[in-house]
Amino acid sequence: MIDWRAVRRQAGGLRGRAARPGETKSAKVRPGGGAGADSEPADTGGGGAEPADAGPGGAGPGTRATKAKAAVPVRRGPGRFVRALVTLTALAGMVAFAVVLARLTLEASPASVPLTHSNLTPGRSIENYLNQPGFVDTVKQLGGNIALGVPFGILLPLLSLKARGFLRVALITAVTMLLVELVQGALVTGRAFDIDDVFLNTTGALLGYVLVGRRLGRIVRPRTRPRWWQRRAHTPSH
């Protein structure tokens, strides 16, 4: 006769040995679809790492701050030695230009007394220059006054970062040349105050700034901090 009890014990032992290599346990599924109480969570292999604190949209506060900093690049200019050398060169150029300007504008000219007259009306002298018959004289008068202001637009951005910008260059040049014109009209023989000269000098300074000064200023003295509207645009909202 066949001992069925022994056959059952052998079959049970075979099933137990077959289940050992994987060491897996099947979760008992309840009728409601959920896992039973004896089910174990699967090992994710994360080493017990917890998820990062995520804010709205999946990005935490640290992530927003990092993105805000990365969005505003910081440029580095040349070294201190190069900046100091450029500043000294620009300062020497400004001194030399001041000497030339003084000789051209503050030197007395007694022979010109009958020909000079003050002009307080903007545009009057420019109109007279354009209406005179000699084209060369017109170019000398207009071009000379414009060229006289060009060094301001080139040297001011090299001297200081605060002297950059259209309004600042125009304001510094206009104030300087206005003082020169006042000294001419009040103290120098054969010279007269002319408001049109101030406008022409300021125009020359803006041309020098646009063509040369702005680019040189950005190379030698780049902005290391973003402008106020850029900082406001990249500030993370709380």
CB neighbours of 34 closer than 8 A, spacing ≥ 6? Answer: none
- Partners of 119 in the beta sheet? 194
Residue 89 has a CB neighbour count (10 Å cut-off) of: 12
Greater pLDDT, 27 or 4: 4
Radius of gyration of the chain (CA): 41
What integer pLDDT is reported at residue 208 of this predicted model?
95
What integer pLDDT is reported at residue 116 of this predicted model?
82
Dump pLDDT digits (tens) for 38-89: 444 444 444 444 444 444 444 455 555 444 444 445 556 567 788 788 888 8
pTM of the model: 0.61
8 A C-beta contact, residue 177 and residue 102: no
Dump pLDDT digits (tens) for 114-159: 778 889 999 999 998 898 888 888 898 899 999 999 999 999 998 8
User: What integer best gives the mean pLDDT of the chain?
Assistant: 74
State the pLDDT confidence band at 224, using cuts at 50, 70 and 90.
low
